[in-house]
A and B are shown apart, each in its own frame.
Chain A
C-alpha cells in the first residue's frame, strides 16, 4: 500500500486506466508538457505521447466539443477544465450535446467521457477559482456528478468514472489536493458511482457532507462526541447524482435527525434535494426539521471573506446542536 495525496492518487488512476485501455486519453489546457495546473496529469504525456495526452488551446468549448466527437467514435476522453468557474464557456457542449446523445440517438450512440474540474474554496483564490457549482450538473439528466473526499475515493471513483458508459462530471476539491495522505491499495480499484459511504457510524443525527466538507463534518462529529456525548452518523455522499437516497433514508430512519453541509449556495442546492428525499422516505422518523449548513446566496465573495461564506466547524456544530435540541 502506498500513501498518496489526492493529486498523486488521481494521477495514479489516470495512469492505470490509460495502461488498461488504449481508448482512454487526456485533453485540456496545459495537461501535457506542464502536467496540468495542479499537476494531476504529471508525466502522462512523457509516458503515453502527445496523441493520448493532448495540450488544447485555451478554449473550454473546444475541449468538450472535441471530446464529445471523440466519444461518439469510441474513444474515452478525460477532459480537464482548469477551474470549474471556467466551465460556463463549455456548458453548452455539456448540456446540449454531451448529456443528450444517448437520448437523441435512442441509444445508438453514447458518450463515455469524464470532465474533471477543480472546485471549491479554501485556497484564497480570486474570482472564478473558488465556487462550488455541482448543483448545475447534478440537475442535468444524462450526466453523473461525482465528488470524492479523499485520495482513496478520488482514485477509485475516477477509475469508475472512466469506465462508466455515460458522461461523468468529476469535481476535485482544491482544498483537498495536498491536504492529507491516505493509503491506497496496490491493485487498481473502482468504487461504485451512485453509492454513499458511512464515514462514521452513529445514532443521534445524520450529518451529510461530500468533498472538502467531509472533513469539517468529521471534525464536528468528534467535538459533539467529546463535548455532548452525541454519536453523530456522518455520510460521505461521494456521488451527488444519481443520489443514494437509500443510504440517506436508512440512516435517518435510525437517527431521526439530519443536517446537510455543502459549499454551494443554499437555495436550490443539493441540500434541498437531499432534504426532500429524506422527507419522501423517512418522514415519520423525523424528530426535527432538516437543517442545511451552506454557503450564502451571494456570488462567491473573494478570499478576504471566503471563511465567512464557506461552512466551517462552528457553524456545523451549532446547527447539529440546534437540531439535536429541537
Chain B
C-alpha cells in the first residue's frame, strides 16, 4: 500500500478530491519522516547529511537542465534493430524538415522554479 502525498501532475489539485485531514494522517506515517525521527532519537543523524543530500539533488537538477535539447532524430534509432525502409524514409523526411527550417530553441527554464501547485516540500 502506498499513498501519494504530493500532486499527481502540475495540472492536478488534490485539495479538490481529498480532505486535508486524510493527507495529514498519512504524513504522520511517511516513512521518510519516521526514519528521520528514529535516527534523531538514537542520535544517528550525521550533522550536515541532509544538506549534502539536498546539494546532490540540486546538482543533478542543474546537470539535467544544462543538457542540450534531445536530438529528435534519435527516436528512429530505437524502434527496431534495423529500421525498415518505411521508417528510414520518415527519418529522411525529418532530416529534410530540420534542414529547411531549424527548430526554434526551447525557452530557458525559469531561474527560480517554484514547487508545483499543491506540491509539498518535505517537512523538516
Contact = CB atoms under 8 A, between A and B. Distances in A.
B78 interface: yes
B77 interface: yes
A51 interface: no
A243 B79 CA distance: 15
Contact-size category for A: 10 to 19
A318 interface: no
Contacts of B81: 102, 110, 164-166
Interface SS of chain B: helix
A246 B85 contact: yes
B39 interface: no
A141 B87 CA distance: 10
Interface in A73-103: 102-103
Contacts of B78: 102-103, 105-107
B79 A103 contact: yes
Contacts of A246: 85
Nearest to B86: A242
Interface residues of B, number: 11
Interface in B86-102: 86-87
Interface string A230-248: 0000000000001101100
B54 to A, nearest CB: 29
A194 interface: yes
A141 B84 contact: no
A141 B79 contact: yes
B80 interface: yes
B80 A102 contact: yes
Contacts of B84: 194, 242
A246 B75 CA distance: 24
Interface in A167-194: 194
A295 B70 CA distance: 44
A32 interface: no
A142 interface: yes
A102 B74 CA distance: 12
A242 B74 CA distance: 20
A110 B77 CA distance: 12
Contacts of B85: 194, 242, 245-246
A163 to B, nearest CB: 11
Contacts of A105: 78
Contacts of A106: 74, 78
Contacts of A164: 81
- Which of the listed residues B75, B77, B80 has the most CB atoms from chain A within 10 Å of its own CB? B80
B86 A166 contact: no
Contacts of B74: 106
Interface in A200-237: none
Interface string A94-134: 00000000110111001000000000000000000000000
A207 to B, nearest CB: 22
Contacts of A144: 80
Interface in B40-87: 74-75, 77-81, 84-87
Interface string A124-163: 0000000000000000011010000000000000000000
B88 to A, nearest CB: 10
B87 A142 contact: no
A275 to B, nearest CB: 15
B107 to A, nearest CB: 26
24 contacts: A102-B78, A102-B79, A102-B80, A102-B81, A103-B75, A103-B78, A103-B79, A106-B78, A107-B78, A110-B81, A142-B79, A142-B80, A144-B80, A165-B81, A166-B80, A166-B81, A194-B84, A194-B85, A242-B85, A242-B86, A243-B86, A245-B85, A245-B86, A246-B85
Given A166-B81, A242-B85, A242-B86, 16 more contacts: A102-B78, A102-B79, A103-B75, A103-B79, A105-B78, A110-B81, A142-B80, A164-B81, A166-B80, A194-B84, A194-B85, A242-B87, A243-B86, A245-B85, A245-B86, A246-B85
